[in-house]
Homo-oligomer: A and B are copies of this chain.
Amino acid sequence: MKSIKTFGELTKHLAETGMRKKVAVVWAADESTQHAVEQALADGFIEATFVGCAQEIQSQDFYKTHKEHITLVEATTPDEAATAAVALVREAQADVLMKGLINTDNLLHAVLNKQTGILPKGNILTHVTVADIPAYDKLLLFTDAAVIPYPTHEQRIKQVEYAVNVCHSMGVDCPRISLIHCSEKVNEKYFPFTVGYKEIAQMANEGKLGQCIVDGPLDVKTSCCAESMSTKGICSPIEGKADALIFPDIEAGNAFYKTITLFAGAQTAGLLQGTIAPVVVSSRSDSTQSKYNSLAVAAMIAPKA
């Protein structure tokens, strides 16, 4: 499979495969969730199970058009819908979970439930964004802009593993994963996690993290620009061509996310990883387009239940 370099290529690829993934949508009372799901139905890469808001959905024009690919499940509250949708994923009746008009914390309550949830023991819940930045010549994945405040060394290893998996699913066979820091120097005193960076790079070298190249510490610019790397006299197997950036903390990840969307014209897709199926948890301020992109990435990377 050729690597997918833009969201346009992604939806084209999904259309060509003709495979529909099953998406369980929790309480889709908001327009932007409905529109994103409608577009994905129209493009033919999902089947949707709306959990809750059945009457609302039945009254929409798109319901008639896509009836054969829509299932309606009753639920009286958003929380009840969350529990029911999570159960569908757990029972392998859905490949993707998607948040509608429900507080993220409430959705996560169902996702993380030790008995009935969908986060396997030993996994961590972390947020992955895939960005289509006009000034970069391929998709750029990064983590974590939304969930883990200050990842531990163990959490960071998992973040790398999940990033590698997503890249593989997107057709990048040997992704370059850059461990981000404000400098290229290991600094045990002020930035002890940079010592861990070297260990993670070593693990990758030993093949313990799958087919990938990992290096760091590197800053955003040296990670994504071969010229900056050579100006600084840095040699790194990332070669200024990173496929994924692992940010040291949520502040840096979030600043990156907000900056590329606001100032660099980037389109994004956001997902939770670590769960048995990808979870689309866009926020109120995300556009319909962003929710649609998230569905497309989720459909691409979700294992068929």
A264 near B255 (CB under 8 angstroms)? no
Report A53 CB to chain B, min CB distance, Å. Answer: 21
Instruction: Kindly state whether residue A209 has any CB partner on chain B within 8 Å.
Output: no
Report A154 CB to chain B, min CB distance, Å. Answer: 18
**Residue in B224, B252, B284 whose CB lies within 8 Å of A252:** B252
Number of A residues whose C-beta is below 8 Å from B? 43
Protomer copies: 2
Instruction: Kindly state whether residue A14 has any CB partner on chain B within 8 Å.
Output: no
Instruction: Please measure, in the bound complex, the distance between the C-alpha atom of A248 and the C-alpha atom of B248, giving whole angstroms.
Output: 13
Cβ–Cβ < 8 Å partners of A149 in chain B: 190-191
Instruction: Please measure, in the bound complex, the distance between the C-alpha atom of A251 and the C-alpha atom of B253, giving whole angstroms.
Output: 9
- CB under 8 Å from chain B, chain A span 248-292: 248-256, 258-266, 284-285
A136 near B263 (CB under 8 angstroms)? yes
9 contacting pairs across A/B (C-beta < 8 A): A135-B263, A145-B182, A180-B255, A182-B251, A182-B255, A220-B255, A221-B262, A247-B251, A251-B251
Instruction: Identify 10 new A-B residue pairs, CB closer than 8 A, beyond the known A182-B250, A219-B255, A249-B251.
Output: A145-B182, A146-B182, A182-B254, A219-B258, A220-B254, A220-B255, A228-B285, A232-B285, A247-B251, A256-B259
Binding site for B on A (CB under 8 A): 133, 135-136, 145-146, 149, 180-183, 190-191, 219-222, 224-225, 228, 231-233, 247-256, 258-266, 284-285
